[in-house]
Amino acid sequence: MRVLPFVTLLGLALLLGGCGGGGGGGSGGGTPTAQNVQPISVEAGPARIINILFVSVIVCAPGSSVNCQTIDHVQVDTGSSGLRLLSSVVSPTLSLPQQTDVNGNPLVECARFADGFSWGSVRLADMQVAGEQAKSLPLQVIGDPAFPSIPASCSNSGPPENTVPTFGANGLLGIGLFLQDCGVACAESPIPGAYYSCPATGCVPISLPLARQLQNPVAMFSADNNGTIIELPSIPATGAATSAGSLIFGIGTQANNGLGGAKVLATDPNTGYIATRFGSQSYATSYIDSGSTLFFIGESLYPFCTGTAAGFYCPATTQNLSATLEGVNAISSVADFSIVNADQATAANPSFFAFDNLAGPAGNPSTFAWGLPFFYGRNVYTAIETKQTPGGAGPYFAF
């Protein structure tokens, strides 16, 4: 990774923009996009996994405008909150300060996902993306060599995802529905498999006040801080080698991020779930998640693939489908989508990394996860809990 001395005009424009609040439109210094717009892309990336949505962010030592590093290929995730970076891509010269508990012991986090866990230190950085800035942002440095010993209560949750190949990206930009990654549960009591205090004698689970937990970086921006829009263009049914779009910060805060005709689907305030009606079934555990690489639906909807896409669905013929997404506010919206034979689609174009029609089993008969395939050809809004928008307060998804 590159360490960029932050003395360019571009850098100054970004820094000034981050403090400026309103405005919008193109900013100076050759910046190609508005203050609240950051390019995003789907491409091979460092782990060559299909349908990973990438963004670049700049992290700086807190308070510094020169000790900064651009981290590319960070995955954009509407299914979690908080910035996580793999230790191997973070320059040691940044010297991001280790966070500590009330007794001065190092804070380390176990981040648990449906498909595994990531273990690493909680540190502090200033983060910049487009013209926005989150100062003094607690972030997780995954695989930090300073804390090599992983407690069983963390590793007992599934496969380890502590390296770039196993994590699938250089980091994760969690811009989901919630203000913190864990929330009140972790503030009230020590939860095994969440936050740990790590004195020399070993790591033990601790409770952690909300403000010390990993924060949704968007909520810490001085403006455009109530949510995001992910805009990706339509792609051919055969897929595409790459796809490029925009991550827009704020909902209804600038000329470029109005809700337009998008329908607001309020989510359950605790789980972030909506419901999906598909066929004759209602899926109560449904969510829109840019961090999931497929449509993950039900348990055994179609035959499983047996080739290179083993574990995905392989219907004999292309399925042209329609489902209804329902918010807890009783607003619903129909989504048309297709599911192709994943073995055939990926074998036909082995160098393609963007597909809008791949699906797999969800891990539960009542789960319907609208992963990245859903985002192609749509503008998908994610509104953060408690934040006001022209469509009401978050948490909600809209499209």
Partner 1 sequence: MHCDLRPSWWHAALLVAAGLIAGIATCPVQAALGEPVASVETDRLQVGGTLRVLPSAAYTVHELQAPSGTVVREYVSPAGIVFGVAWQGPSMPDLRQVLGTYFDPYVQAASKRNARGPVAIAQPGLVVQSGGHMRAFVGRAYIPQALPAGVAPDAIR
Burial class (CB in 10 A: 0-12, 13-18, 19+), 228: buried
Residue 183 Cβ, how far from partner 1 at the closest point, in Å? 6
| Of 15 and 218, CB closest to partner 1 | 218
Q: Does 31 bind partner 1 (CB under 8 A)?
A: no
Q: Does 166 bind partner 1 (CB under 8 A)?
A: yes
Whose structure tokens read 């095994």? 192
**Count of residues binding partner 1 (CB under 8 A)?**
59
How far is it, in rounded angstroms, from Cα 258 to Cα 262?
A: 9
Q: Does 395 bind partner 1 (CB under 8 A)?
A: no
Which residues are within 8 A (CB) of 328 and not within 5 positions of it... i.e. 6 or more apart?
Answer: 266, 267, 268, 274
Residue span binding partner 1 (CB under 8 A) among the ranges 14-22, 38-46, 152-160, 325-333 = 152-160
Residues 360-379 that bind partner 1 (CB under 8 A): 360-367, 369, 371
Backbone angles phi, psi at 212, to 5 degrees: -95, -10
Among 14, 57, 182, 339, the residue binding partner 1 under the rule CB under 8 A is 182
Q: Does 157 bind partner 1 (CB under 8 A)?
A: yes
Among 23, 62, 192, 377, the residue binding partner 1 under the rule CB under 8 A is 192
85, 227, 231: which is closest to 169 by C-alpha? 85
Residue 156 Cβ, how far from partner 1 at the closest point, in Å? 4
Q: Does 195 bind partner 1 (CB under 8 A)?
A: no
| Of 221 and 287, CB closest to partner 1 | 287
Residues 198-257 that bind partner 1 (CB under 8 A): none
Residue 304 Cβ, how far from partner 1 at the closest point, in Å? 7
| Of 130 and 177, CB closest to partner 1 | 177
Residues 32-91 that bind partner 1 (CB under 8 A): 49-50, 52, 75, 79-81
Q: Does 328 bind partner 1 (CB under 8 A)?
A: no
Largest CA distance in the chain: 61
136, 101, 93: which is closest to 121 by C-alpha? 101
Residue 75 Cβ, how far from partner 1 at the closest point, in Å? 8
Q: Does 130 bind partner 1 (CB under 8 A)?
A: no
Residue 146 Cβ, how far from partner 1 at the closest point, in Å? 22
215, 194, 70: which is closest to 136 by C-alpha? 215
Residue 132 Cβ, how far from partner 1 at the closest point, in Å? 23
Strand-strand pairing, 281-288 and 367-370: parallel
Residue 92 Cβ, how far from partner 1 at the closest point, in Å? 28
Among 119, 147, 195, 287, the residue binding partner 1 under the rule CB under 8 A is 287
In sign, the C-alpha dihedral spanning 143, 146, 147, 149 is positive
Residue 295 Cβ, how far from partner 1 at the closest point, in Å? 9
Between the CA of residue 60 and those of 135, 137, 138, 222, what are the distances in Å? 9, 10, 12, 17
Q: Does 264 bind partner 1 (CB under 8 A)?
A: no
Binding stretches for partner 1 (CB under 8 A): 49-50, 52, 75, 79-81, 111-116, 152-153, 156-159, 166, 168, 176, 178, 181-183, 185, 189, 191-194, 270-273, 285, 287, 289, 291-294, 296, 299-300, 304, 311-312, 360-367, 369, 371
